Amino acid sequence: MTLMQKFLSASAALALTAGAAVAEPALIFDLGGKFDKSFNESAFNGATRWAEETGGSFAEVELQSDAQREQALRRFAEAGNNPIVMAGFSFANALTEVAADYPDTKFQIIDMVVDAPNVRSIVFAEEQGSYLVGMAAALASETGTVGFIGGMDIPLIRNFACGYAQGVLAVNPDATVISNMTGTTPSAWNDPVKGSELTIAQISQGADVVYAAAGGTGVGVLQTAADEGILSIGVDSNQNYLHPGQVLTSMLKRVDNAVYDAMKAGEDLEPGFNVMDLSNEGVGYAVDENNAELINDDMTAKLEEAKAMIVAGDIAVHNYNSDETCPALDF
Amino acid sequence: MDFLTFVQLADATVRMSIPLLLACLAGLFSERAGIFDIGLEGKMLAAAFFAAAVSFSTGSVWIGLLAGLAASLALSVIHGLASITLRGNQLISGVAINFLAAGLTVVVAQSWFKQGGRTPQLSGASRFDGLDWPGALTRVREIMTAPPPQQFYSEFISGHSILVYFAFLCVPASWWLLYRTRFGLRLRAVGENPAAVDTAGISVVGLRFTAVLICGLLCGIAGAYLSTAAQAGFTKDMTANRGFIALAALIFAKWRPWHAMGACLLFGLFFAIDNRFQNIQLHAIWIIVILVGLSALMTSYALRRDRIDVIVLGGFSALLTLIAIGMWIGLTVPGEVSMVQALWQVVKLPTQLIQSMPYILTVVALAGFVGKAIPPRAGGEPYVKER
C-alpha cells in the first residue's frame, strides 16, 4: 500500500513538473526545410526573433515526408506544446484531424484555412505583393518578356503567378509572361537543377526578368539568372543579398511576423481567420542596399502609387483562389 | 520553332543527359562484371555533397572533385565488401548505400555548414565553369541575335564544362576497354560465367572489385557534375532519382556503351522537352493517329506470338483505340464542332506524360518489344568457389 502510494505520488509529481515545464510553443517546417532561404527560413527567423526577445525557447521539427505531418502534430500536442505553429498549406488535412482531439491546444496554420474553434488560420494576399513585383519586372524589362517559375503546381502558387502577370500587364499591356511550374509533387520545392533549366529555357524565349516562387528550387533560378546576366525576383524572405545587384527585388511575405505574433500571444492565441496583405504590411517588396541601384526613383514612385491604390481598393487584384481562374495568365 | 530552339533543345539534352550517361556507364561496368548496383543514386549523392563541400572549403573545384571521387569510391568499397567478399545480397547492399548517402550527406552538411543540409553557394574557382571555345558567345541573349552557325557553335559545341566533354569521351573509351582489351573480355566473362574465368586462373574477386571501383569513379564524376558544374552547391536529395533513371537507361541500352549513350540522350531529350514546353499542344488528329498506330503495331506484333500475348496486348490496343475514339467524340460538340472539325481541335498534352516517357520506354524495353534485354547471366549472384 505504501509502495503504491509512493508510486502514485511520484508519477503525479512527474506529471505536474512535466506539464509546467513544456508549455512552450512549437514550430513545424514544411518539406522545403528550415534553411530554404525562403518560406520556411522566414518562419524560423520569426521564431528566433521571439526567442531572442523573450528568452524563451521553442520546439521545432523539420519533416522528411508527407506521412509525418499528423505524427509531428500529435507529438507536440501530447507533449503539451502550445501554441503549435505550422508553416505550410499541406498541413490542412492533418490539422483538421488533430485539432479536434486536442481542444485545449491552440494551432496556427499559415497559407491555408482550417475551420476549427482552436485554429488560427493565416493567409497572405500573395497576389498583391506579386502584383507589385510584377510591375517592377515590367518596368525593368527591356525585351517586354518576363518569366515566372513556380514550385509545386498548386492554387497557392498559381495565385503568385496570377498576381505577377496582372502587375506586368498593368505596366505594359503588350508584355509576354512565360509561366512554368517545376513539378506536381512536393519534391518540386527542392529541385534547383530543374529550376536552372527552366530559367535557361525562359531566357531563350526572351525573358530578362524571372520571378521564382519555388522554395529551394528558387536558389537555382536566382543562380542561373545571375550567371546569364538577367534580373531575378526572390520570394518570401528577402533574397536580394544572394546575388547583390542581380536580384531586382524580393516579394516579401512576412511569415516571420505571423510566427512571431503567434508565439508572442502564446496560449492566448486568438482563433479565427486572418488575412495579411499590403494594408497591414503582411506582403510587400524588398528594397535594401543590394538592389538600391536597380530600383530607380521613377520605379519607386509607380510602385508606391500602386500600393496605395491597392490598399485603398482602387486597384482590385484578382485572387486566383477565389474562382480558380486568372484574367492575365493562362495555365 | 526556329533553328535556335532546336539548338537549345539539343544543348539542354546534353546537359540533362550527362549525369545519366556517367551513372549509366558506371552501372554498365559493375553489372557487366556481375554485380548489380542500385546504389548508383547514393554514390552520386555522396559525391555531389563532398565535391561541393570540399571545393567550397578549399576554393578549388579540382580538390573538390577528388573528394567526391573518394566518397563515391568509399561507398563502392562497402558495396564490394558486402556483395563480393561477404557474398551478401547485392540489391540490399545497394539499397543500404542509398539510405546511408541520403541520411549522411544531410547530417554532415548540417554539422559542417549549419545551413540545413545544404552547402553554401559556390562561385569562381570552386565551380566548374563552362569552357568557352575561341570566338564563342557566352550569354543566351547574345546568342539569340547571332547567325545560325554561330548559334550552333556557341550554344551546342562551346560553353559546356569540361566534365561534359569527358563524359562523351568515356563512351568510346568504355567500348574500347570492354570489347578490345583482354581486361574487358575477362570483365564481361566474369559477369556471364565466373566459374570459367576462375578455371582459367584469373581472380574473380579481383576483377569484380576493379569493376565496382570503376563504377564508383564514374558515379563520383556524375555527382560532382551535379553539384559543381550543373549547380553551384549541394542541396538535399539533389540527385532526384537520376541514379535509377540511369539504371533504366542501362536496361534500355541492353548493357552496351554506345547504346547507353543513345538511351541517355533520348531520356535527356524528354527532360529537355519537358522543361522547355510545359504543355505540348497538338491537333487531335495527330494524337489519334499516334494512339491507333501504336495499337496497330502492338496487335501485329502480338499476332506473331503466343495466345497470352494476343489477349494482353490486344486488350491494351483496344484500350488505346477506345481512348482515341473517346477523345474524338469528346471534342465534338453537336451543332458547333462537327466530327471532321474536331480532328483539328488543339489538345493539350500534359507535361506529366513527357516526364513519364523514360519509364514507359523502359517498360517497353523490358517487355521485349525492341529485342530481348538479357542481363549478364551471373548478375546478382555472389561467386562461390567450391560447393
Q: What is the pLDDT of residues B149-170, one digit of tens each?
A: 888 888 888 888 999 999 999 9
Yes or no: say if A83 and A266 are a contact pair by the CB < 8 Å rule. yes
What is the rounded distance in angstroms from the CA atom of residue B49 to the CA atom of residue B219? 13
**b/e for A215-237, b at 16 or more Cβ within 10 A?**
bbbbbbbbbbbbbbebbbbbbbb
**CATH code of the domain occupying B3-276:** 1.10.3470
Q: Domain A127-252+284-323 has what CATH class?
A: alpha beta
Domain with CATH 3.40.50.2300 in chain A: 13-125+259-264, 127-252+284-323
Yes or no: say if B14 and B39 are a contact pair by the CB < 8 Å rule. no
Q: How many CB atoms lie within 10 A of CB B357?
A: 17
Q: What is the pLDDT of residue A21?
A: 47
Report, as an integer, the average pLDDT of B189-199.
93
Helix (H) / strand (E) element for A70: namely helix A68-78
Q: What is the pLDDT of residue A215?
A: 83
pLDDT reading at A162 higher than 90? yes
B118-128 pLDDT, tens digit per residue, is 888 888 888 88
Q: Which three cell numbers stand for residue A285?
A: 517588396
Mutation target for A interface from B275, B279, B281, B346: give the one with most A CBs within 10 A.
B275
Strand partners, A276: A124
Residue found by looking up cell 505536474 in the block: A16
Q: How confident is the model at residue B196 (pLDDT cuts 50, 70, 90)?
A: very high
pLDDT reading at B249 higher than 80? yes
Helix (H) / strand (E) element for A182: namely strand A176-183
pLDDT reading at A16 higher than 50? no
| Chain A with chain B: Cβ pairs closer than 8 A | 76
Question: How does DSSP assign B315-362, residue by residue?
Answer: HHHHHHHHHHHHHHHHH-BTTTB-HHHHTT-EEEEPHHHHHTHHHHHH
B333-383 pLDDT, tens digit per residue, is 877 778 788 888 777 777 777 777 777 777 776 666 666 778 899 888 888
Cβ-defined contact of B12 to A220 (cutoff 8 Å): no
B255-294 pLDDT, tens digit per residue, is 999 999 999 998 898 888 877 776 667 788 888 888 888 8
Fold of A13-125+259-264: Rossmann fold (3.40.50)
pTM here?
Answer: 0.79
On whether any CB of chain B is under 8 Å from the CB of A178, the answer is: no
Least confident range of A126-140, B11-25, B193-207, B304-318: B304-318
Strand partners, B60: none
Chain B residue with minimum CA distance to A196: B231
Residue A210, classed as helix, strand or coil, is: strand
Residue A86, classed as helix, strand or coil, is: strand
Residue B209, classed as helix, strand or coil, is: helix
On whether any CB of chain A is under 8 Å from the CB of B276, the answer is: yes
Which residues of chain B from 110 to 129 reach within 8 Å of chain A, CB to CB?
Answer: 115-118, 121
Give A-chain residues touching B139 at CB under 8 angstroms.
228-229
